Structure 1
Amino acid sequence: MKRPLLANFLKNTAFGVFIGFELAILAAWAFDAQISSAPQLLTASAALVGAFLAVAGVLSNIDNQNQTSEGQRQRSLLAAKATLPLTLTSLIDIAERGAHFTVSGSLTEKEVEQSVQELTLPTEVISSLQKVIEYSSDEDAAKLSYLISYFQILQSRTKRWLIEDYALLTIDVCLAVRWAFLVRQIENCFGYARSEDASIPSDLRPLKIREFFSVRLREGQTTISQLMPEISHLESCYDPTRKPFP
Protein backbone atom coordinates (compact mmCIF):
# COMPACT_ATOMS: atom_id res chain seq x y z
CA MET A 1 0.00 0.00 0.00
CA LYS A 2 1.33 3.40 -0.96
CA ARG A 3 1.58 5.84 1.92
CA PRO A 4 0.90 9.55 1.26
CA LEU A 5 4.04 11.63 1.15
CA LEU A 6 2.56 13.95 3.78
CA ALA A 7 2.43 11.03 6.21
CA ASN A 8 6.20 10.64 5.91
CA PHE A 9 6.69 14.30 6.76
CA LEU A 10 4.31 14.28 9.70
CA LYS A 11 6.32 11.44 11.26
CA ASN A 12 9.59 13.30 10.66
CA THR A 13 11.16 15.28 13.55
CA ALA A 14 13.02 17.60 11.21
CA PHE A 15 9.76 18.53 9.49
CA GLY A 16 8.23 19.38 12.86
CA VAL A 17 11.18 21.64 13.68
CA PHE A 18 10.82 23.31 10.27
CA ILE A 19 7.11 24.04 10.81
CA GLY A 20 7.79 25.37 14.30
CA PHE A 21 10.56 27.66 13.09
CA GLU A 22 8.47 29.00 10.23
CA LEU A 23 5.54 29.71 12.58
CA ALA A 24 7.91 31.51 14.93
CA ILE A 25 9.17 33.68 12.06
CA LEU A 26 5.60 34.52 11.02
CA ALA A 27 4.66 35.40 14.59
CA ALA A 28 7.71 37.64 14.96
CA TRP A 29 6.99 39.24 11.60
CA ALA A 30 3.43 40.05 12.65
CA PHE A 31 4.02 41.33 16.18
CA ASP A 32 7.45 42.96 16.12
CA ALA A 33 8.06 45.79 13.66
CA GLN A 34 11.83 45.78 14.15
CA ILE A 35 12.17 42.08 13.48
CA SER A 36 9.82 42.27 10.51
CA SER A 37 12.25 44.60 8.78
CA ALA A 38 15.25 42.31 9.25
CA PRO A 39 16.27 40.75 5.92
CA GLN A 40 17.95 37.84 7.73
CA LEU A 41 14.53 36.40 8.49
CA LEU A 42 13.61 36.36 4.81
CA THR A 43 16.91 34.67 4.00
CA ALA A 44 16.49 32.05 6.74
CA SER A 45 12.90 31.38 5.78
CA ALA A 46 13.74 30.99 2.11
CA ALA A 47 16.62 28.64 2.97
CA LEU A 48 14.34 26.50 5.09
CA VAL A 49 11.71 26.35 2.36
CA GLY A 50 14.38 25.32 -0.13
CA ALA A 51 15.67 22.63 2.21
CA PHE A 52 12.10 21.41 2.76
CA LEU A 53 11.51 21.06 -0.98
CA ALA A 54 14.81 19.21 -1.38
CA VAL A 55 13.89 16.75 1.38
CA ALA A 56 10.44 16.34 -0.15
CA GLY A 57 12.03 15.33 -3.44
CA VAL A 58 14.33 12.81 -1.76
CA LEU A 59 11.50 11.24 0.24
CA SER A 60 9.34 11.06 -2.87
CA ASN A 61 12.11 9.22 -4.77
CA ILE A 62 12.60 6.81 -1.87
CA ASP A 63 8.87 6.16 -1.70
CA ASN A 64 8.71 5.49 -5.44
CA GLN A 65 11.67 3.11 -5.23
CA ASN A 66 10.04 1.24 -2.35
CA GLN A 67 6.80 0.92 -4.30
CA THR A 68 8.65 -0.34 -7.37
CA SER A 69 10.57 -2.88 -5.28
CA GLU A 70 7.38 -4.09 -3.57
CA GLY A 71 5.61 -4.43 -6.92
CA GLN A 72 8.50 -6.50 -8.27
CA ARG A 73 8.44 -8.71 -5.15
CA GLN A 74 4.70 -9.31 -5.51
CA ARG A 75 5.06 -10.26 -9.19
CA SER A 76 7.95 -12.61 -8.39
CA LEU A 77 5.94 -14.18 -5.56
CA LEU A 78 2.95 -14.70 -7.85
CA ALA A 79 5.18 -16.42 -10.40
CA ALA A 80 6.81 -18.59 -7.73
CA LYS A 81 3.42 -19.61 -6.29
CA ALA A 82 2.23 -20.79 -9.71
CA THR A 83 3.83 -24.21 -9.10
CA LEU A 84 3.47 -24.25 -5.32
CA PRO A 85 0.28 -26.42 -5.27
CA LEU A 86 2.09 -29.12 -7.26
CA THR A 87 5.10 -28.81 -4.98
CA LEU A 88 2.97 -29.21 -1.86
CA THR A 89 1.21 -32.22 -3.41
CA SER A 90 4.59 -33.89 -4.04
CA LEU A 91 5.63 -33.14 -0.47
CA ILE A 92 2.40 -34.69 0.86
CA ASP A 93 2.97 -37.83 -1.24
CA ILE A 94 6.40 -38.31 0.35
CA ALA A 95 5.09 -37.58 3.86
CA GLU A 96 2.28 -40.12 3.40
CA ARG A 97 4.84 -42.72 2.33
CA GLY A 98 6.75 -41.98 5.52
CA ALA A 99 3.62 -42.54 7.57
CA HIS A 100 2.89 -45.76 5.67
CA PHE A 101 6.41 -47.17 6.12
CA THR A 102 6.46 -46.53 9.85
CA VAL A 103 3.15 -48.30 10.52
CA SER A 104 3.73 -51.20 8.12
CA GLY A 105 6.40 -52.84 10.25
CA SER A 106 7.30 -55.74 7.97
CA LEU A 107 9.59 -54.88 5.05
CA THR A 108 12.08 -56.94 3.08
CA GLU A 109 15.62 -55.69 2.52
CA LYS A 110 14.75 -54.78 -1.05
CA GLU A 111 11.67 -52.90 0.11
CA VAL A 112 13.78 -51.01 2.65
CA GLU A 113 16.17 -49.81 -0.06
CA GLN A 114 13.25 -48.70 -2.21
CA SER A 115 11.58 -46.98 0.74
CA VAL A 116 14.70 -44.99 1.55
CA GLN A 117 14.80 -43.72 -2.03
CA GLU A 118 11.10 -42.81 -1.97
CA LEU A 119 11.66 -40.52 1.02
CA THR A 120 14.16 -38.38 -0.88
CA LEU A 121 12.93 -34.87 -1.64
CA PRO A 122 13.24 -34.08 -5.39
CA THR A 123 15.47 -31.16 -6.35
CA GLU A 124 12.64 -29.37 -8.16
CA VAL A 125 10.50 -29.46 -5.01
CA ILE A 126 13.26 -27.84 -2.96
CA SER A 127 13.86 -25.24 -5.68
CA SER A 128 10.17 -24.34 -5.87
CA LEU A 129 9.91 -23.90 -2.10
CA GLN A 130 13.08 -21.80 -2.02
CA LYS A 131 11.68 -19.39 -4.59
CA VAL A 132 8.45 -18.93 -2.66
CA ILE A 133 10.39 -18.44 0.58
CA GLU A 134 12.58 -15.81 -1.08
CA TYR A 135 9.64 -13.60 -2.08
CA SER A 136 7.19 -14.30 0.76
CA SER A 137 6.73 -12.14 3.84
CA ASP A 138 9.03 -12.90 6.77
CA GLU A 139 6.25 -14.73 8.64
CA ASP A 140 5.23 -16.97 5.73
CA ALA A 141 8.86 -17.61 4.78
CA ALA A 142 9.54 -18.77 8.34
CA LYS A 143 6.59 -21.19 8.22
CA LEU A 144 7.70 -22.71 4.91
CA SER A 145 11.30 -22.95 6.11
CA TYR A 146 10.01 -24.76 9.20
CA LEU A 147 8.17 -27.29 7.01
CA ILE A 148 11.40 -28.13 5.21
CA SER A 149 13.28 -28.47 8.50
CA TYR A 150 10.52 -30.65 9.98
CA PHE A 151 10.56 -32.84 6.88
CA GLN A 152 14.34 -33.26 6.99
CA ILE A 153 14.26 -34.34 10.64
CA LEU A 154 11.52 -36.92 9.99
CA GLN A 155 13.25 -38.09 6.83
CA SER A 156 16.53 -38.67 8.67
CA ARG A 157 14.88 -40.50 11.57
CA THR A 158 12.74 -42.65 9.29
CA LYS A 159 15.68 -43.63 7.09
CA ARG A 160 17.66 -44.62 10.18
CA TRP A 161 14.69 -46.60 11.47
CA LEU A 162 14.24 -48.38 8.12
CA ILE A 163 17.90 -49.33 7.89
CA GLU A 164 18.45 -50.32 11.53
CA ASP A 165 15.13 -51.79 12.69
CA TYR A 166 13.39 -53.30 9.68
CA ALA A 167 14.61 -56.82 10.53
CA LEU A 168 12.91 -56.60 13.94
CA LEU A 169 9.51 -56.20 12.24
CA THR A 170 8.69 -53.32 14.56
CA ILE A 171 6.60 -50.24 14.02
CA ASP A 172 7.34 -46.70 15.14
CA VAL A 173 4.12 -45.08 16.37
CA CYS A 174 5.79 -41.77 17.17
CA LEU A 175 7.25 -41.34 13.69
CA ALA A 176 3.97 -42.33 12.04
CA VAL A 177 1.98 -39.73 13.98
CA ARG A 178 4.62 -37.05 13.28
CA TRP A 179 4.43 -37.77 9.55
CA ALA A 180 0.66 -37.37 9.72
CA PHE A 181 1.12 -34.09 11.57
CA LEU A 182 3.46 -32.90 8.79
CA VAL A 183 0.80 -33.76 6.20
CA ARG A 184 -1.69 -31.60 8.08
CA GLN A 185 0.78 -28.71 8.14
CA ILE A 186 1.36 -28.98 4.40
CA GLU A 187 -2.38 -29.11 3.72
CA ASN A 188 -2.67 -25.89 5.71
CA CYS A 189 -0.55 -24.11 3.06
CA PHE A 190 -2.79 -24.79 0.05
CA GLY A 191 -4.98 -21.72 0.57
CA TYR A 192 -1.86 -19.56 0.46
CA ALA A 193 -0.53 -21.44 -2.57
CA ARG A 194 -3.77 -20.78 -4.48
CA SER A 195 -3.79 -17.13 -3.29
CA GLU A 196 -7.05 -17.77 -1.43
CA ASP A 197 -5.35 -16.81 1.86
CA ALA A 198 -3.18 -13.73 2.25
CA SER A 199 -0.85 -15.69 4.53
CA ILE A 200 -0.37 -19.21 5.86
CA PRO A 201 -2.67 -19.86 8.85
CA SER A 202 -0.86 -20.54 12.11
CA ASP A 203 -3.44 -22.70 13.87
CA LEU A 204 -4.13 -26.26 12.67
CA ARG A 205 -7.01 -27.03 15.01
CA PRO A 206 -8.60 -29.49 14.71
CA LEU A 207 -5.54 -31.62 13.90
CA LYS A 208 -7.61 -34.52 12.46
CA ILE A 209 -4.71 -36.96 12.78
CA ARG A 210 -6.98 -39.84 13.74
CA GLU A 211 -9.02 -39.22 10.56
CA PHE A 212 -5.77 -39.33 8.57
CA PHE A 213 -5.02 -42.87 9.74
CA SER A 214 -8.58 -44.16 9.70
CA VAL A 215 -8.51 -43.95 5.90
CA ARG A 216 -5.01 -45.40 5.49
CA LEU A 217 -4.86 -48.39 7.86
CA ARG A 218 -7.05 -50.82 5.98
CA GLU A 219 -4.32 -53.33 5.22
CA GLY A 220 -1.65 -52.45 7.75
CA GLN A 221 -1.09 -54.40 10.93
CA THR A 222 -1.24 -51.26 13.08
CA THR A 223 -4.59 -50.19 14.52
CA ILE A 224 -5.98 -46.82 15.52
CA SER A 225 -5.99 -47.95 19.16
CA GLN A 226 -2.22 -48.47 18.99
CA LEU A 227 -1.75 -44.96 17.63
CA MET A 228 -4.20 -43.16 19.91
CA PRO A 229 -1.85 -42.63 22.91
CA GLU A 230 0.66 -40.82 20.70
CA ILE A 231 -2.07 -38.93 18.83
CA SER A 232 -3.61 -37.80 22.12
CA HIS A 233 -0.19 -36.75 23.41
CA LEU A 234 0.52 -34.65 20.32
CA GLU A 235 -2.92 -33.04 20.39
CA SER A 236 -2.59 -32.16 24.08
CA CYS A 237 0.87 -30.65 23.58
CA TYR A 238 0.06 -28.82 20.35
CA ASP A 239 0.65 -25.09 20.55
CA PRO A 240 0.57 -23.06 17.30
CA THR A 241 2.85 -20.43 18.86
CA ARG A 242 5.66 -22.99 19.25
CA LYS A 243 7.45 -25.24 16.79
CA PRO A 244 6.78 -28.85 17.88
CA PHE A 245 9.86 -30.52 16.42
CA PRO A 246 9.62 -34.29 16.78
Structure 2
Amino acid sequence: MEQPQSRYVKVLDKKLHYLEAGKPGGIPMVFVHGNFASGKWFEPAMELLPESYHTFALDLPNFGRSDRTEEVSIDNYGKHVVDFIKQLELEGVILVGHSLGGAVVQNVMVRRPDLLSRVVLIDPAPPDGLKTPPEVYPFLDMYRSNRELLKKALIGTMPTRPVDEFTELLVDEALLMDPKCFTENACALEKYNYSEELKGIEIPVLVIVGRKDILITEEMAKGFEKILHTVHVSVLENYGHSINVENPGLFVEMLLEFTSK
Protein backbone atom coordinates (compact mmCIF):
# COMPACT_ATOMS: atom_id res chain seq x y z
CA MET A 1 0.00 0.00 0.00
CA GLU A 2 1.15 3.58 -0.66
CA GLN A 3 2.43 5.89 2.07
CA PRO A 4 -0.46 7.15 4.26
CA GLN A 5 -1.70 10.67 3.58
CA SER A 6 -2.20 13.30 6.30
CA ARG A 7 -5.77 14.64 6.56
CA TYR A 8 -8.13 16.49 8.92
CA VAL A 9 -11.84 16.14 9.73
CA LYS A 10 -14.20 18.04 12.06
CA VAL A 11 -15.47 15.76 14.84
CA LEU A 12 -17.71 17.04 17.65
CA ASP A 13 -16.56 20.61 16.91
CA LYS A 14 -12.91 19.57 17.12
CA LYS A 15 -10.43 19.22 14.27
CA LEU A 16 -8.92 15.74 14.30
CA HIS A 17 -5.84 14.75 12.35
CA TYR A 18 -5.59 11.31 10.80
CA LEU A 19 -3.56 9.24 8.35
CA GLU A 20 -5.34 7.51 5.48
CA ALA A 21 -4.20 4.80 3.06
CA GLY A 22 -5.91 2.47 0.61
CA LYS A 23 -8.79 3.04 -1.75
CA PRO A 24 -12.37 4.09 -0.97
CA GLY A 25 -14.61 1.05 -1.00
CA GLY A 26 -11.95 -1.15 0.57
CA ILE A 27 -12.42 -2.94 3.88
CA PRO A 28 -12.45 -0.12 6.47
CA MET A 29 -9.93 -0.42 9.30
CA VAL A 30 -9.52 2.26 11.95
CA PHE A 31 -6.50 2.34 14.27
CA VAL A 32 -6.63 3.94 17.74
CA HIS A 33 -3.27 4.66 19.35
CA GLY A 34 -2.20 4.49 22.98
CA ASN A 35 -0.91 6.99 25.52
CA PHE A 36 2.10 9.18 24.61
CA ALA A 37 1.37 8.37 20.98
CA SER A 38 -0.42 9.28 17.75
CA GLY A 39 -1.58 7.63 14.55
CA LYS A 40 2.10 7.38 13.51
CA TRP A 41 2.37 4.22 15.60
CA PHE A 42 0.37 2.43 12.91
CA GLU A 43 2.05 3.91 9.85
CA PRO A 44 4.42 0.94 9.31
CA ALA A 45 1.50 -1.50 9.37
CA MET A 46 -0.62 0.68 7.07
CA GLU A 47 2.15 0.63 4.48
CA LEU A 48 2.22 -3.20 4.55
CA LEU A 49 -1.52 -3.87 4.32
CA PRO A 50 -2.91 -4.74 0.87
CA GLU A 51 -4.94 -2.13 -1.03
CA SER A 52 -8.10 -4.12 -0.40
CA TYR A 53 -8.10 -2.39 3.00
CA HIS A 54 -9.02 1.27 3.46
CA THR A 55 -7.14 2.29 6.60
CA PHE A 56 -7.32 5.25 8.96
CA ALA A 57 -5.13 6.09 11.96
CA LEU A 58 -6.45 9.08 13.87
CA ASP A 59 -4.80 11.26 16.48
CA LEU A 60 -7.23 11.25 19.40
CA PRO A 61 -8.14 14.69 20.77
CA ASN A 62 -5.33 15.92 23.06
CA PHE A 63 -2.79 13.95 21.02
CA GLY A 64 -0.63 14.64 18.00
CA ARG A 65 -1.98 17.28 15.63
CA SER A 66 -5.59 17.08 16.81
CA ASP A 67 -7.40 19.76 18.81
CA ARG A 68 -7.47 19.71 22.60
CA THR A 69 -10.48 19.02 24.80
CA GLU A 70 -11.20 20.03 28.38
CA GLU A 71 -12.50 16.61 29.38
CA VAL A 72 -9.87 13.91 29.67
CA SER A 73 -11.67 10.57 29.88
CA ILE A 74 -11.91 7.27 28.04
CA ASP A 75 -15.58 8.00 27.49
CA ASN A 76 -14.83 11.31 25.77
CA TYR A 77 -12.18 9.72 23.56
CA GLY A 78 -14.68 6.99 22.65
CA LYS A 79 -17.29 9.58 21.64
CA HIS A 80 -14.80 11.12 19.24
CA VAL A 81 -13.92 7.76 17.66
CA VAL A 82 -17.61 6.99 17.12
CA ASP A 83 -18.19 10.37 15.50
CA PHE A 84 -15.01 9.99 13.42
CA ILE A 85 -16.40 6.73 11.98
CA LYS A 86 -19.77 8.37 11.33
CA GLN A 87 -18.27 11.49 9.75
CA LEU A 88 -16.29 9.37 7.29
CA GLU A 89 -19.41 7.25 6.63
CA LEU A 90 -17.66 3.97 7.37
CA GLU A 91 -19.59 0.73 7.88
CA GLY A 92 -18.50 -2.66 9.18
CA VAL A 93 -15.30 -1.20 10.61
CA ILE A 94 -12.44 -3.33 11.85
CA LEU A 95 -11.41 -1.33 14.92
CA VAL A 96 -7.88 -1.74 16.27
CA GLY A 97 -6.77 -0.29 19.61
CA HIS A 98 -3.36 -0.24 21.28
CA SER A 99 -2.87 0.15 25.06
CA LEU A 100 -4.98 3.17 26.14
CA GLY A 101 -6.51 2.92 22.68
CA GLY A 102 -7.69 -0.55 23.67
CA ALA A 103 -9.75 1.02 26.45
CA VAL A 104 -11.15 3.55 23.97
CA VAL A 105 -12.09 0.73 21.59
CA GLN A 106 -13.91 -1.06 24.42
CA ASN A 107 -15.91 2.13 24.95
CA VAL A 108 -16.84 2.14 21.26
CA MET A 109 -17.83 -1.53 21.48
CA VAL A 110 -20.39 -0.86 24.20
CA ARG A 111 -21.48 2.48 22.73
CA ARG A 112 -21.97 1.52 19.07
CA PRO A 113 -21.34 -2.18 18.36
CA ASP A 114 -23.42 -1.84 15.18
CA LEU A 115 -20.60 0.15 13.56
CA LEU A 116 -18.06 -2.66 13.97
CA SER A 117 -17.37 -5.98 12.28
CA ARG A 118 -14.26 -7.06 14.20
CA VAL A 119 -12.03 -5.74 16.97
CA VAL A 120 -8.30 -6.15 17.59
CA LEU A 121 -6.81 -5.13 20.94
CA ILE A 122 -3.02 -4.85 21.27
CA ASP A 123 -1.79 -5.07 24.87
CA PRO A 124 -4.99 -3.30 25.92
CA ALA A 125 -5.89 -1.73 29.22
CA PRO A 126 -8.18 -4.25 31.01
CA PRO A 127 -12.00 -4.08 30.91
CA ASP A 128 -12.14 -2.86 34.53
CA GLY A 129 -9.50 -0.14 34.20
CA LEU A 130 -5.76 0.14 34.74
CA LYS A 131 -4.41 1.53 38.00
CA THR A 132 -1.13 3.44 37.99
CA PRO A 133 0.80 3.22 41.29
CA PRO A 134 0.94 6.63 43.05
CA GLU A 135 4.74 6.63 42.99
CA VAL A 136 4.70 6.59 39.16
CA TYR A 137 2.82 9.88 38.77
CA PRO A 138 5.84 12.14 39.45
CA PHE A 139 7.71 10.40 36.63
CA LEU A 140 4.77 10.88 34.25
CA ASP A 141 4.86 14.58 35.06
CA MET A 142 8.62 14.71 34.42
CA TYR A 143 8.20 13.32 30.89
CA ARG A 144 6.73 16.65 29.77
CA SER A 145 10.07 18.42 30.10
CA ASN A 146 12.60 15.59 29.94
CA ARG A 147 12.85 14.16 26.44
CA GLU A 148 15.50 11.59 27.29
CA LEU A 149 13.47 10.20 30.18
CA LEU A 150 10.41 10.02 27.93
CA LYS A 151 12.44 8.32 25.22
CA LYS A 152 13.66 5.70 27.68
CA ALA A 153 10.08 5.03 28.78
CA LEU A 154 8.85 4.64 25.20
CA ILE A 155 11.73 2.31 24.33
CA GLY A 156 10.60 0.18 27.28
CA THR A 157 7.22 -0.28 25.58
CA MET A 158 8.84 -1.60 22.40
CA PRO A 159 11.83 -3.56 23.76
CA THR A 160 12.54 -5.64 20.66
CA ARG A 161 12.61 -2.73 18.20
CA PRO A 162 15.99 -1.21 17.24
CA VAL A 163 16.43 2.39 18.34
CA ASP A 164 16.43 4.36 15.09
CA GLU A 165 15.09 7.49 13.38
CA PHE A 166 11.52 6.21 13.69
CA THR A 167 12.03 5.89 17.45
CA GLU A 168 13.04 9.55 17.59
CA LEU A 169 9.96 10.44 15.53
CA LEU A 170 7.71 8.63 18.00
CA VAL A 171 9.28 10.56 20.89
CA ASP A 172 8.57 13.81 19.04
CA GLU A 173 4.97 12.67 18.50
CA ALA A 174 4.62 11.94 22.22
CA LEU A 175 5.71 15.49 23.05
CA LEU A 176 2.83 16.85 20.96
CA MET A 177 0.39 15.53 23.57
CA ASP A 178 -1.47 18.11 25.68
CA PRO A 179 0.73 18.66 28.76
CA LYS A 180 -2.14 18.04 31.16
CA CYS A 181 -2.56 14.54 29.73
CA PHE A 182 0.84 13.33 30.91
CA THR A 183 -0.83 12.59 34.24
CA GLU A 184 -4.55 12.93 33.50
CA ASN A 185 -4.59 10.07 30.98
CA ALA A 186 -3.35 7.77 33.72
CA CYS A 187 -6.20 9.00 35.93
CA ALA A 188 -8.67 8.39 33.09
CA LEU A 189 -7.51 4.79 32.79
CA GLU A 190 -8.45 4.22 36.45
CA LYS A 191 -11.99 5.57 36.12
CA TYR A 192 -13.84 3.20 33.80
CA ASN A 193 -15.21 -0.32 34.03
CA TYR A 194 -16.82 -1.98 31.00
CA SER A 195 -16.86 -5.51 32.45
CA GLU A 196 -20.64 -5.78 32.61
CA GLU A 197 -21.40 -3.76 29.49
CA LEU A 198 -19.14 -5.92 27.32
CA LYS A 199 -21.03 -9.08 28.23
CA GLY A 200 -23.26 -10.12 25.38
CA ILE A 201 -21.22 -8.32 22.71
CA GLU A 202 -21.11 -10.60 19.67
CA ILE A 203 -18.26 -8.94 17.77
CA PRO A 204 -15.26 -11.25 17.13
CA VAL A 205 -12.30 -9.95 19.15
CA LEU A 206 -8.58 -10.72 18.94
CA VAL A 207 -6.46 -9.74 21.94
CA ILE A 208 -2.70 -9.68 21.36
CA VAL A 209 -0.30 -9.47 24.30
CA GLY A 210 3.48 -9.68 24.45
CA ARG A 211 4.98 -11.79 27.20
CA LYS A 212 7.74 -9.18 27.59
CA ASP A 213 5.17 -6.43 28.18
CA ILE A 214 5.98 -4.59 31.42
CA LEU A 215 2.56 -2.86 31.54
CA ILE A 216 -0.09 -5.41 30.56
CA THR A 217 0.26 -8.97 31.84
CA GLU A 218 -0.94 -12.16 30.21
CA GLU A 219 -3.35 -12.54 33.13
CA MET A 220 -4.86 -9.12 32.38
CA ALA A 221 -5.25 -10.01 28.71
CA LYS A 222 -6.89 -13.33 29.49
CA GLY A 223 -9.38 -11.50 31.69
CA PHE A 224 -11.26 -10.75 28.47
CA GLU A 225 -12.06 -14.47 28.19
CA LYS A 226 -14.21 -14.23 31.32
CA ILE A 227 -16.36 -11.54 29.71
CA LEU A 228 -16.44 -12.12 25.94
CA HIS A 229 -17.23 -15.51 24.46
CA THR A 230 -16.12 -14.28 21.02
CA VAL A 231 -12.56 -13.46 22.09
CA HIS A 232 -9.28 -15.14 21.20
CA VAL A 233 -6.15 -14.21 23.17
CA SER A 234 -2.82 -14.57 21.37
CA VAL A 235 0.32 -14.44 23.54
CA LEU A 236 3.53 -13.49 21.74
CA GLU A 237 6.51 -14.99 23.54
CA ASN A 238 9.22 -12.71 22.20
CA TYR A 239 7.59 -9.27 22.12
CA GLY A 240 6.71 -6.46 24.47
CA HIS A 241 3.89 -3.92 24.64
CA SER A 242 3.86 -2.82 20.99
CA ILE A 243 3.89 -5.51 18.31
CA ASN A 244 2.58 -2.88 15.84
CA VAL A 245 6.01 -1.20 15.84
CA GLU A 246 8.19 -4.04 17.14
CA ASN A 247 7.34 -6.31 14.21
CA PRO A 248 4.87 -4.65 11.81
CA GLY A 249 5.14 -7.56 9.38
CA LEU A 250 4.02 -10.11 11.96
CA PHE A 251 1.32 -7.75 13.17
CA VAL A 252 -0.07 -7.40 9.64
CA GLU A 253 0.01 -11.19 9.18
CA MET A 254 -2.08 -11.56 12.34
CA LEU A 255 -4.48 -8.84 11.19
CA LEU A 256 -4.98 -10.48 7.81
CA GLU A 257 -5.48 -13.94 9.27
CA PHE A 258 -8.06 -12.66 11.77
CA THR A 259 -9.96 -10.33 9.43
CA SER A 260 -10.16 -12.74 6.51
CA LYS A 261 -11.94 -15.48 8.43
Same fold (TM over 0.5): no
Larger Cα-atom Rg: 1
* Structure with the higher fraction of residues in helix conformation: 1
Q: What's the TM-score, normalizing by structure 1?
A: 0.24
* Structure with the higher fraction of residues in strand conformation: 2
Q: What's the TM-score, normalizing by structure 2?
A: 0.23
